[in-house]
Structure 1
């Protein structure tokens, strides 16, 4: 494997983000959700219009992990009003870190997390936060290993299914 490169995504990479989003979300959660809920979620959250709006939002940033010419994962972070839950100006949200299953265990998620940490520090944020599905122990362990602790819960709507996310944060100061 070549070394993984992480680069900031632009509007010109909308299709790459859309394809990565659909592929990685499906790989991660299809087995635990109904086909109808999965289809509804993918159509709503990875439409060209929604991704374009997110890429054009100055308070959201996307980064793509590349293994040579292949996009293998991505990161979406939010600050300010782009955060999915109001956390104020002191916070940076990691909304998504997703990696293709072919690259699990190859430190791609760690590189994407480190990019989020770098951005948070450059913006002088006090903490980073995220929501992680309570039934995703692999992700929970990853965030705990990186110093995150649970601080709350919220409901994540997966099609018609209401699921509980554990909200986790890491203080930076």
Structure 2
């Protein structure tokens, strides 16, 4: 059984915990151990996540499978992009499933719920940044009608940036 719920600030600790694990699973090899550790410690801490709930345009969602937390997403509605000429678009800022839940078709169901939420806010599309070496994610997004519209260097640390594609799906 799959359950998708909108998270609240009370879920900040859970999101931080799952965020650490999923980031390490998908990006842990993308930089030095020290750079990854610093990034994860800064980004996926309860206080930092809780602070994001103050922005009314930011929403977190949690997906569970058979009563186990499988992943989370973060979207920001009305998040303009320098790569997309549209006044009302959503940014898919984070979209992570724990490796233990890959292959169960949860990503498709989770993704479709995000798209429906974005459309409810009368958005004209959704955009995201994806690491160029994350071929599995790029394939997923391409299959779901995203197009590469730009490139961006994601600053992981003071000494490390990872190249990302900016992808966009219009509605």
Structure 1 residue runs of 5 or longer lacking an equivalent are none
Structure having the larger proportion of residues in helix: 1
Cα RMSD for the two superposed structures: 1.5
Deviation, 1:85, is 4.7
Give per-residue Cα distances to partners, 1:5-31, cap 9 Å, x unaligned. Answer: 111001111111111100100111112
Q: Provide TM-score, normalisation by structure 2.
A: 0.92
Contact 2:19 2:44 in 1 (8 A): yes
Q: Which blocks of at least 5 consecutive residues in structure 2 are unaligned?
A: none
Asked if 2 retains the 8 angstrom alpha-carbon contact of 1:16 and 1:71, the reply is: no
CA offsets per residue over residues 54-99 of structure 1, 9 Å max, x none? 122211000000123321111100123xx48556641101011100
CA–CA separation in structure 1 for the residues paired with 2:22 and 2:146: 23
The aligned residue for residue 41 of structure 1 is: 39
Q: Which residue of 1 aligns with 2:127?
A: 129
The match for 1:50 among 36, 48, 51 is 48
2:106 corresponds, among 95, 105, 108, to: 108
Runs of 4+ in structure 1 over 2 Å off:
83-89
C-alpha distance in 2, partners of 1:120/1:32?
30
| TM-score between both structures, scaled by the size of structure 1 | 0.91
Q: What is the rounded CA distance, in whole Å, between the counterparts of 1:33 and 1:69 in structure 2?
A: 33
